[in-house]
């Protein structure tokens, strides 16, 4: 049944699929993960679990029970809890499905195949991105928009001259590059399984993604670069790292000057001018609507924790903490018909910050949940690739909240595999890396002609 996992991996980029249930976040890959889960349910019952995993499960169950009592006691709506439970259930299915995949596949070839399908999926996203570029800058026709709409429901962004591939919105691109596309590229490169097709997908995807005009995505790329450099550098290379940062900063400055100030692509969207103004005067970030909205949600999440520090407001009940602290929102941010104003009409509210969500909805149990999860992850004892993924996950939860559930539970399962835990990333050519890690250059499914010639030569020699 591995083919269902490979289909799901290929479809990871389609997270706003038109016929999928949900609101803005509608990943079609969940369908095939759920099918894999159903077909492998007997195996799931036989899985072995660590004590820390069971502690996490017990805390979540206790939180659900506490929420039910709180909702009845304080006459809270169950809407927020139901939404949170659906996300948790989806996360559990994702985690257990990939945990089964890990425990049933010990060969490196199964993981090589998985990450190859992930990159191929972003090839499809790349094609959709190219169609969006054609719509924005060449042929803004209804037929082309309809073609794009077959793969992604929210097409309003391209009307605003913003590229977002097959994702829900432009700012989600970093969630995909940092936790799926680039990690898959690094794994294939460092096991010498990266094809020319795979390289083209990555090398075209990153430059084209600049047209998303997303500040958060640009920050995500910078974080990815910093984490990668530090993860693969040794202390004796400190000066080289500083020099590399200086050169990279210079290249970035020239790129920003060319794209933003010189405006060589004749960008005219309102979002372009927003970025330009922030680039020219970074102090304006505090007055930026998107920035202030996210900061406000997080601040009110902390205030909500202060209201009910022991048990929190309950799973999915951040709305009630938000309503209790409306007076702390500056008047300039609480505009009529603005997001913060309209949030008062939504019983299920996001925070875009998993840490403040745990505090406001779980209370002290949220802190315990985080600590047990951290202890579980640290027990894997992975090498520098695992540490890099862990840092990127922590950053993603700071700004994507439950929207990072696929990536989060995917890696929680994959980090348990010997293939991932033993992976050490070097700054070497792919062939040298494979030799250094004693990983075959190709899995049995990807044997090369050169490998066969080497075997034949050995047989002749011994003969």
* pLDDT number for residue 425: 85
Element (H, E) at 339: helix 339-342
Question: Nearest 5°: CA angle at 280, between 395 and 163?
Answer: 55
**pLDDT tens, residue order, the chain (463 aa):** 899 999 999 999 999 998 887 666 889 999 999 999 999 999 998 898 999 999 999 999 999 999 999 999 999 999 999 999 999 999 999 999 999 999 999 899 999 999 999 999 999 999 999 999 999 989 999 999 999 999 999 888 998 889 999 999 999 999 999 999 999 999 999 999 999 999 999 999 998 998 898 888 988 998 998 899 888 887 677 677 778 777 777 777 777 677 766 776 677 766 677 777 776 777 666 667 778 888 999 999 999 999 999 999 999 999 999 999 999 998 888 888 888 999 999 998 888 899 999 999 999 999 999 999 999 988 888 888 999 999 999 999 998 888 888 999 999 999 999 999 999 987 644 444 444 444 444 444 444 333 443 333 344 344 4
Q: What are residue 16's DSSP bridge partners?
A: 26
pTM (two decimals): 0.87
Question: What token pair was written down for 202?
Answer: 């990555």
* pLDDT number for residue 213: 86
* CA atoms lying within 13 Å on the CB side of residue 435: 5
Longest alpha-carbon distance in the chain: 86
Q: Helices in 232-288 by DSSP H: which ranges?
A: 238-256, 270-280
pLDDT digit string, tens, across residues 26-50: 899 999 999 999 999 999 988 989 9
* pLDDT number for residue 404: 87
Phi, psi dihedrals of residue 16, rounded to the nearest 5°: -140, 50
As a 3-state breakdown, the chain gives helix, strand, coil percent values, each rounded to 5, of 70, 0, 25
Integer angstrom CA distances of residue 114 from 117, 152, 192, 197, 319: 5, 24, 15, 16, 39
Integer angstrom CA distances of residue 252 from 247, 271, 304, 325, 351: 9, 19, 40, 40, 31
**Minimal CA–CA distance to 264: which of 210, 303, 225?**
210
pLDDT digit string, tens, across residues 238-257: 677 778 777 777 777 777 67
> Contact at 8 Å (CB) between 58 and 34?
no
Integer angstrom CA distances of residue 158 from 55, 126, 138, 141, 211: 45, 15, 12, 12, 10
Rounded Cα–Cα distance for residues 175 and 88 (Å): 19
* pLDDT number for residue 450: 39
């Amino acid at each position: 049944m591995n083919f269902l996992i490979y289909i799901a991996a290929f479809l990871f980029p389609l997270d706003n699929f038109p016929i999928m249930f949900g609101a803005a976040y509608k990943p079609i890959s969940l369908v095939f993960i759920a099918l894999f889960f159903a077909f492998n349910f007997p195996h799931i019952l036989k899985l072995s679990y660590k004590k820390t995993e069971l502690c996490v499960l017990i805390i979540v169950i206790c939180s659900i029970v506490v929420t039910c009592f709180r909702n009845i006691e304080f006459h809270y709506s169950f809407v927020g809890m139901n939404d949170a439970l659906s996300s948790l259930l989806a996360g559990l299915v994702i985690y257990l499905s990939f945990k089964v995949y890990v425990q049933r596949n010990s060969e490196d070839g199964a993981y090589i195949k998985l990450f190859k399908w992930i990159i191929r999926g972003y090839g499809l996203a790349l094609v959709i991105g190219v169609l969006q570029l054609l719509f924005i800058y060449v042929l803004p026709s209804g037929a082309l928009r309809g073609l794009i709409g077959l793969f992604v429901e929210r097409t309003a962004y391209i009307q605003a001259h913003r590229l977002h591939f097959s994702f829900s919105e432009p700012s989600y691109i970093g969630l995909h590059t940092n936790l799926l596309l680039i990690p898959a590229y690094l794994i294939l490169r460092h096991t010498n399984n990266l094809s020319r097709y795979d390289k083209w997908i990555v090398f075209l995807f990153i430059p084209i993604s600049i047209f998303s005009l997303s500040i958060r995505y640009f920050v995500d790329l910078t974080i990815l670069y910093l984490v990668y450099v530090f993860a693969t550098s040794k202390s004796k290379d400190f000066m080289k790292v500083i020099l590399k940062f200086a050169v990279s900063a210079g290249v970035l400055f020239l790129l920003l000057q060319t794209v933003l100030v010189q405006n060589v692509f004749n960008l005219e969207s309102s979002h372009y001018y927003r970025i330009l103004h922030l680039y020219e005067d970074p102090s304006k970030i505090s007055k930026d609507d998107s920035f202030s909205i996210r900061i406000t949600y997080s601040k009110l999440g902390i205030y909500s924790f202060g209201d009910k520090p022991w048990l929190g407001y309950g799973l999915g009940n951040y709305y009630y903490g938000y309503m209790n602290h409306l007076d702390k929102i500056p008047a300039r941010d609480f505009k009529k018909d603005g997001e913060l104003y309209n949030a008062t009409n939504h019983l299920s509210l996001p925070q875009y910050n998993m840490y403040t969500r745990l505090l406001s909805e779980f209370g002290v149990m949220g802190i315990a949940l985080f600590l047990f999860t951290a202890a579980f992850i640290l027990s894997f004892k992975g090498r520098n690739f695992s540490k890099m993924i862990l840092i990127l996950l922590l950053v993603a939860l700071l700004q994507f909240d439950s929207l990072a559930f696929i990536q989060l539970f995917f890696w929680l399962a994959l980090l348990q595999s010997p293939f991932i835990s033993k992976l050490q990333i070097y700054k070497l050519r792919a062939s040298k890396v494979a030799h250094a890690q004693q990983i075959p250059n190709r899995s049995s499914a990807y044997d090369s002609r050169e490998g066969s010639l080497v075997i034949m030569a050995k047989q002749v020699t011994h003969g």
